[in-house]
Amino acid sequence: WSAVFYYFGLWREDGLDQRIQELLRCQVRERARRLEDPSLVIIDTQSVRAAAGVPKTTTGLDANKKVSGRKRGLAVDVLGLIIGVVVLAASAHDNAAGTALLDQAAERCGMRLEKALVDQGFKDEVVIHGALMDIDVEVVRRNPADQGKGFVPQPKRWVVEQTNGTLLLHRRLAREYDHRPDTSVSRVYWASTANMTRRLTTPSPTWRDTLGLAA
């Protein structure tokens, strides 16, 4: 185990975990007949409870969600593939995660990136930050008719919710166990790498398979 964690830490410090994830993301997008880099990203945050022993200096309380732990922010494309990751104390405002994720997305997508979708938890600071980078940040608001109905998927934005749910299937991400936030970020990249590896190695259904399912 010590040897495994040694290389885990080595690749985390070197950024190799993120580069491997990036290469696989490009392959998955190409397989879906899309350009390597997206023109639109969806940004969201999720507060995750911290396990006992995680340093208090790297955690906090999300007063809105009543969760003590860390805030995990994701920027994904329309396929749900991860473009950027940030891990902060749960007490941090969504704006802090949003601006950091916009910076990551702009760096990794270059001039292709034109638009970002966020929810109502993100305020003007993120919109202004995006405008300074020539990125149109749209705040997607809930339909008033959906009030009181619980969780209602929103067009396009549901993709990032699905990605968060998929990551939680990896037991190490169901709770914050790591002392260092950058270790948590690395675990997200490796979980994403595992998910994309399955996508790339699982044969796509043929039209005959589709007909069989329809029958």
Per residue in 92-110, pLDDT (tens digit) is: 999 999 999 999 999 999 8
CA separation for the pair 57, 39 (Å, rounded) = 36
pLDDT band at 213 (very low <50, low <70, confident <90, very high): very low
Of 184, 181, 163, the closest CA to residue 173 belongs to 184
Ramachandran region, residue 156 (left: φ > 0; alpha: ψ -120 to 50; beta: rest): left
Residue 136: strand pairing partners: 115
Pairing type for strands 115-118 and 40-49 reads parallel
pLDDT band at 208 (very low <50, low <70, confident <90, very high): low
Instruction: Give the pLDDT confidence of 45-85 residue by residue, as tens digits.
Output: 999 999 999 999 999 999 988 999 999 999 999 999 999 99
Contact (Cβ atoms closer than 8 angstroms) between residue 105 and residue 41? yes
- Domains belonging to the chain, first-starting first, are 35-143+152-188 (3.30.420.10)
Interior CA angle at 11 toward 35 and 19, to 5°? 10
Residue 49: strand pairing partners: 69
Whole-structure pTM value: 0.87
> What's the whole-number mean pLDDT along residues 183-188?
97
Of 67, 121, 78, the closest CA to residue 97 belongs to 121
Cβ contacts of residue 102 below 8 Å, gap of 6+?
43, 75, 116, 126, 129, 130, 133, 135, 137
Q: pLDDT over 70 for what percent of the chain?
A: 88
Cβ contacts of residue 175 below 8 Å, gap of 6+?
48, 49, 50, 51, 69
How many residues in total does the chain contain? 215
Contact (Cβ atoms closer than 8 angstroms) between residue 71 and residue 176? no
Name the maximum alpha-carbon separation found in the chain. Answer: 57
Contact (Cβ atoms closer than 8 angstroms) between residue 95 and residue 122? yes
Q: Residue 118 half-sphere exposure, CB side, CA atoms within 13 Å? A: 29
* Res. 214: pLDDT tops 50: no
